[in-house]
């Protein structure tokens, strides 16, 4: 290599290194867009709005929460995946991300390779509730009732492909029963119809129906965690009647693929600090869950494995997109 070529190569290397160092030290250089794939009021939205101001304090830039509901959280996911990979667009989702992809793998982006995990935020059980008019007072009695009346009981969800939809389809399959799915556009309308008796069954995050359970307007039969939960100590695990049943709800933060590792690690570290605060522990407890922060690598691996796991369930149970 000529002297000129060596000098040119060294100069290019130094410039590139300087540019990378500048990018690392200047992040974030503008407001951060925090996408939520659900309407205001749900757990994703609440967690984003609690995290946002704390990230603002830690990073020195506004964190703007933006709700882009639709397609079982995939509209916001697509927008995030196609954003510049510079850490200025992040996205919060629940385990519905993996169930939706399992049911509808053909998305306008690659759900595995176009995104990267930043951190898992937390996880917790779901609760199976019924309208008081349903004569079943246990999971065992509900299964017996569904077998006696195949196709006559309706269960609702926040939308096709969501975690509560697939969770109930797995329940149907494992218990060898046939309840009919009645999807809604969001958990609010689903709970409203359940309260009115238009549908009979719902699998949902505990806090969404805690008040209705306490007042007797809905009856809780069991939780979806493998064992009984400290958040609902009086309820049995569904698995006690339907062996092997498990369906926990989790939340996590994503970013576009190719976002610099230094940026991902910075976000991970700052969110970890926030999750360790008493305020965030209380927020998660309010949702029947607890913070469970992970490394970006562990969270990305979990998402990939969950998509594969749910994909097999969808195939085995012959669940079709609606």
pLDDT at 140: 98
| Count of domains for the chain | 2
pLDDT at 276: 97
State which residues form the domain around 236.
Answer: 126-240
- Answer with the one of 208, 240, 272 that is the final residue of a domain: 240
Q: What is the CATH classification number for the domain harbouring 257?
A: 3.40.190.150
pLDDT at 307: 96
18-75 pLDDT, tens digit per residue, is: 444 444 458 999 999 999 998 887 788 989 999 999 999 999 999 999 999 888 889 9
Burial profile 289-309: b = 16 or more Cβ within 10 angstroms, e = fewer: bebbbbbbeebbebbeebbee
Q: For the chain, which residues score pLDDT lower than 50? A: 4, 7-8, 10-24
Rg (the chain; Cα; Å): 22
Are residues 46 and 104 part of one domain?
A: yes
Task: Write down the pTM of the prediction.
Answer: 0.84
pLDDT at 23: 46
Collapsing DSSP to helix, strand or coil, 187 comes out as: helix
Residue 45 belongs to a domain: yes
Query: In this structure, how many other beta carbons lie within 10 angstroms of the beta carbon of residue 41?
Result: 13
pLDDT at 322: 66
Residue 131 belongs to a domain: yes
Q: How far is Cα 112 from Cα 65, in angstroms, rounded to an integer?
A: 23
């Amino acid at each position: 290599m000529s002297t000129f070529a060596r000098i040119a190569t060294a100069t290019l290397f130094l410039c590139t290194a300087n540019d990378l160092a500048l990018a690392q030290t200047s992040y974030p250089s503008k407001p951060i867009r925090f996408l939520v794939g659900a309407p205001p009021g749900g757990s994703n939205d609440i967690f984003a709005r609690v995290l946002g101001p704390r990230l603002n304090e830690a990073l020195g830039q506004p964190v703007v929460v933006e709700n882009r509901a639709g397609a079982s959280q995939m509209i916001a996911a697509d927008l995030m995946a196609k954003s510049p990979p510079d850490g200025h667009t992040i996205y919060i989702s629940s385990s519905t991300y993996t169930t939706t992809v399992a049911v509808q793998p053909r998305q306008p982006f690659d759900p595995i390779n176009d995104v990267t995990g930043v951190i898992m935020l937390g996880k917790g059980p779901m609760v199976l509730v019924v309208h008081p008019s349903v004569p079943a007072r246990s999971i065992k009695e509900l299964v017996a009732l569904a077998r006696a009346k195949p196709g006559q009981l309706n269960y609702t969800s926040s939308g096709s492909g969501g975690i509560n939809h697939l969770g109930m389809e797995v329940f149907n399959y494992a218990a060898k029963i046939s309840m009919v799915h009645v999807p809604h556009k969001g958990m609010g309308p689903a709970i409203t119809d359940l309260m009115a008796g238009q549908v009979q069954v719902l699998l949902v995050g505990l806090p969404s129906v805690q008040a209705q359970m306490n007042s007797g307007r809905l009856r809780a039969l069991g939780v979806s965690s493998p064992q009984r939960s400290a958040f609902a100590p009086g309820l049995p695990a569904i698995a006690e009647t339907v062996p092997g049943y498990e369906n926990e709800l989790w939340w996590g933060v994503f970013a576009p693929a190719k976002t610099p590792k230094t940026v991902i690690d910075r976000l991970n570290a700052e969110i970890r600090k926030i999750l360790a605060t008493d305020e965030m522990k209380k927020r998660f407890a309010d949702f029947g869950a607890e913070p469970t922060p992970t490394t970006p690598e562990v969270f990305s691996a979990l998402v990939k494995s969950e998509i594969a796991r749910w994909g097999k369930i969808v195939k085995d149970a012959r669940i079709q997109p609606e």
